[in-house]
Amino acid sequence: MSNFFEIIEERKATKIYDPNVEIPREDLVEILELAGKAPSAWNLQHWNFMVFDKKEVQQKLLPIAYNQQQVLDSSAVVAVLGDLEANKNVDPVFDPAVESGAMTSEIKEVLNGQIQGAYQNEQYARDAAFSNASLAAMQLMLAAKAKGWDTCAIGGFNPQQLVEQFNISSRYIPVMLISVGKPLQEARKSDRLNIKDLVKWAD
């Protein structure tokens, strides 16, 4: 499947997976690389991924996700984490552009000033972590579908337990889990609200 519009139409939340199907790590790496091409504020790439692709670690994750069977039966689960300290990414993100001549050091310093100023506000940092990591999460699901894997975004889990069980740094905040695998049955189709009811044209 390669047509972008077909991918969007065919993507469905899959919750019943074939537990016998393994996903090659090369596939997961490629999917995560594509997810990482998502847009982000100042290109700071406010995401981190924790991957559960072994049954023994998925078993540990199961109670944290309120015993949703898809967590265990899917080929892998990706925890999408938002970066609360994405302002620390300034040098690794901008220095290559400065070195290649695509950005001047003066522009980098102006942007750095904007970024560090914004990150004085803890609420901004949290909001940015969620909004930008969610962009990567959606791109991850579309990339997975394009490679023939189905997914489901999971909001039902205990974030504090996830942090404690898997020693996640305080720099990151859990945003969602995404199961990845091959379905045992076709996912249930879900209707969408009429777009006319969701759009207001500004005067």
Q: Which residue has the tokens 């942090």?
A: 163
Q: Which of 126, 107, 136 is nearest to 171 (CA)?
A: 126
Stretch 96-102: mean pLDDT: 97
Residue-wise pLDDT for 30-63, tens only, equals 999 999 999 999 999 999 999 999 999 999 999 9
Residue 183 pLDDT grade (very low, low, confident, very high; cuts 50, 70, 90): very high
Question: Residue 32 has what DSSP assignment?
Answer: H
Instruction: Locate 34 and state its tokens.
Output: 């594509």
What per-residue confidence (pLDDT) applies to 5? Answer: 92
Inter-residue contact 161 to 60 (CB < 8 Å): no
Q: Which residue has the tokens 């305080």?
A: 170
Residue-wise pLDDT for 1-32, tens only, equals 469 999 999 999 999 999 999 999 999 999 99
What per-residue confidence (pLDDT) applies to 2? Answer: 60
What per-residue confidence (pLDDT) applies to 189? Answer: 81
In whole angstroms, give the CA distance from residue 198 to residue 84. Answer: 31
pLDDT over 90 (residue 191):
no
Q: How large is the C-alpha radius of gyration of the chain?
A: 19
In the CATH scheme, what is the homologous superfamily, with its name and number, of domain 4-9+16-197?
NADH Oxidase (3.40.109.10)
Residue-wise pLDDT for 117-165, tens only, equals 999 999 999 999 999 999 999 999 999 999 999 999 999 999 999 999 9
Inter-residue contact 139 to 38 (CB < 8 Å): yes
What per-residue confidence (pLDDT) applies to 187? Answer: 78
Q: At what angle do helices 122-146 and 105-118 cross, to 10 degrees?
A: 110
